[in-house]
Amino acid sequence: MSDTTNTTEEVVESQSQHKQKNDAVLENQNVAPEAFDWESFESGLNAEDRTEKQELEEIYNGSLNDLGDSDVITGKVVRITDREAIVDINFKSEGVISLNEFRYNQDLKVGDEVEVMVDKREDKTGQLQLSHKKARTLKAWDKVNELHETGEIVNGLVKSRTKGGMIVDIFGLEAFLPGSQIDVKPIKDYDQFVGKTMEFKVVKINPEFKNVVVSHKALIEADIEGQKKEIIAQLEKGQVLEGTVKNITSYGVFVDLGGVDGLIHITDLSWSRVNHPSEVLSDGETVKVVILDFDEDKTRIQLGMKQLEAHPWDALSENIKIGDKVKGKVVVLADYGAFVEVAPGVEGLIHVSEMSWSTHLRSAGDFVKVGDEVEAEVLTLDREDRKISLGMKQLNQDPWTNIEAKYPIGSTHTGTVRNFTNFGVFVELEEGIDGLIYISDLSWTKKIKHPSEFCNVGDKLEVIVLELDVQARRLSLGHKQLLENPWDKFETKYAEGTVHNGKATDVFDKGASVQFEDAEVEAFCPSRLLEKEDGSKIKKGDSADFKVIEFNKEFKRVVVSHTGIFRDEEKKNVKDSSSKSSSTSSSSNNEEKSTLGDIDVLAELKKKMEEGNN
């Protein structure tokens, strides 16, 4: 650069000397205007000197670089001030770069080579402005794209926290590190990574917005995957390993076997019943496990803990046999029964039907609850299939023992209505002793379609023992038998041909229900026999006289007729008329009596009506 400057000074000095010579020539010589060398006069150089100058300029320009605005070139630091670095790039003049662009490089010194890019060819002072940051960014972007394609690992400085992750400096370019890509485990404290230099992998690039996304987790996963393949290749069923509890769920525990995870299902944690895996293990705990199974790719590994211990049934005493009494704790409760742990890891089922002598099956929760200490009798014992069934009711005497002495036929008792069927009512006399009252034995007079019309569940009911079958454990009861049968007296009172006043309580297509003064007796009147004398029919709520045309004590059936009453009168009148025609004198006397009688009847009726009005 100094050689070039010297050449320029020599050219200027030569031009000055030639100008002085020309001025002297003009003074001493009288030259014609048309022959005057104006180019020499203006430039101060004669033709020979001008040719020399042109040659020097071509040589000078040929020694300089033709710079483009986006070109990245290498320059050398020639001087450092308090604020700037002076960089020589072999151009016409030296360039200036702010020291702020070298913050990352605190050891910058004279002689260092740096990459720069032309920012301005000349500022207002004519100075060449260079940018190291732009050159570094441009180079960094090219490098990042290359790393993204090749998948190479790059070192970056974690500069600061930002929303959802961290900002990482890679070759002077700011990249985004999402929080989920920092580690394989969830990170709570992001600040612990600020200022650290870490390895990253470029996972995403957006050329349009110059955005770069990096991941540290991808490197960890790659390492883990390598370790995982190594470990998996050595796995065998039945192999015993040591691992660390990684995660606890409601259905089991995930264990880290050193880069590969396996699952201990809740049923494989212990021979005893486990309600939740946290009862047995805790996070971070070191455990010994055995490999039970895995899939073909060995991506799912099934582990067990209880298999490392002897099966509890193998330790169950040989002295336990059917009929023995055992004690245990209720560990599981269901509607159908309760599971009782009679020895560590050995459970027996008490079915709800074996909890009470009562024939009314209820939920097992009505008798016991989880955690209860109970005593039971061994009913079945299968050591091969490892099954045991227990009973609680067997510890109490069977209530059907001496049943004939407690409930002889004809004896009366008070029981509780337990439930209904379409054909009767079940009444409990004591726990385990139930009897059935058929619907026909509930009442002498009421027509009952369903037992719920007569009583309710929980009602106390007086009963009498009608039948007793000890072998079949069946008891027949009656309720109406405790009362006198009213149909014995109804048989005489409502004999066929008798007439009674009744009220039509219901009228339907086939006839009507008729209620007499005895509320217990309800008669039926066919539709054709509801016709009145004036041709109309009896309606619901009407009161009228009815004649009994059928009475059946066995079936408690009474059939009546209203039409038959006045038709019988018509037949009688027809019969009387035929007998009157045979005797005229007799007829006139009877007619007179009849007329006088009718008058008396009418007078009496009129009198009653007047009294009624008053």
> CA-CA distance, 26 to 460, in Å (whole number)?
156
Dist CA 14 CA 293 (whole Å) = 99
Of the ranges 463-467, 552-556, 564-568, 598-602, which is most confident? 463-467
Q: What is the pLDDT of residue 249?
A: 93
Find the range with the poorest average confidence among 320-334, 419-433, 455-469, 599-613.
599-613
**E strand or H helix at 75:** strand 72-80
Average pLDDT in the 76-101 region? 83
Q: What is the pLDDT of residue 456?
A: 92
Q: Among 317-321, 478-482, 536-540, name the one with the lowest average pLDDT.
A: 317-321
Asked whether 117 and 144 are in contact (CB, 8 A), the reply is: no
Q: Name, of 128-132, 454-458, 568-572, 579-583, the range with top average pLDDT.
A: 454-458
Buried b (16+ CB within 10 A) or exposed e, 569-601: eeeeeeeeeeeeeeeeeeeeeeeeeeeeeeeee
Q: How confident is the model at residue 63 (pLDDT cuts 50, 70, 90)?
A: very low
What residue type is 451 in one-letter code?
P
Residues 6+ apart with CB under 8 A from 274: 266, 267, 280
pLDDT at 390: 93
pTM of this structure: 0.41
More confident residue, 67 or 556: 556
Give the pairing type, strands 95-98 and 128-131: parallel
Q: Which secondary structure element, helix H or strand E, spans residue 85, and what is its range?
A: strand 84-88
pLDDT in tens, 3-17: 444 444 444 455 455
Q: DSSP E strands: which ranges in 280-372? A: 286-294, 301-304, 325-334, 337-343, 346-351
- Among 123-127, 256-260, 365-369, the minimum mean pLDDT is found in 123-127
299 Cβ neighbours under 8 A, 6+ residues apart: none
- The 8-class DSSP code of residue 127 comes to P
Q: What is the C-alpha separation between 29 and 13, in angstroms, rounded?
A: 25
* Mean pLDDT, residues 173-193 taken together: 85
The DSSP-derived string for 232-251 is HTT--TT-EEEEEEEEE-SS
Number of H helices, E strands in the chain: 9, 30
Distance CA 53, CA 15 (A): 9
For residue 45, give the nearest of 80, 69, 11 by alpha carbon: 11
Q: What are residue 427's DSSP bridge partners?
A: 417, 435
Q: Which residue has the tokens 């009505």?
A: 366
* Across 5-19, 168-182, 450-464, least confident range: 5-19
Q: CB-based burial of residue 329 (10 Å sphere; 0-12 exposed, 13-18 middle, 19+ buried)? A: middle
CB contact burial 41-61 (16+ within 10 A = b; e otherwise): eebbbbeebbeeeeeeeeeee
**Would you say 349 and 339 are in contact if contact means Cβ atoms under 8 Å apart?**
yes
- Does the structure show a pLDDT above 90 at 254? yes
Question: In this structure, what DSSP letter does residue 604 have?
Answer: H
% the chain with pLDDT above 70:
78
What's residue 459's pLDDT? 92
Is residue 519 pLDDT above 80, yes or no? Answer: no
Confidence grade of residue 288 (pLDDT, cut at 50, 70, 90): very high
Angle at 362 between CA 479 and CA 322, to 5 degrees: 110
Q: What is the pLDDT of residues 186-217, one digit of tens each?
A: 788 888 889 889 999 998 888 777 789 999 88
For the stretch 478-501, pLDDT in tens is 998 888 777 777 877 888 888 889
At 266 the pLDDT is: 92
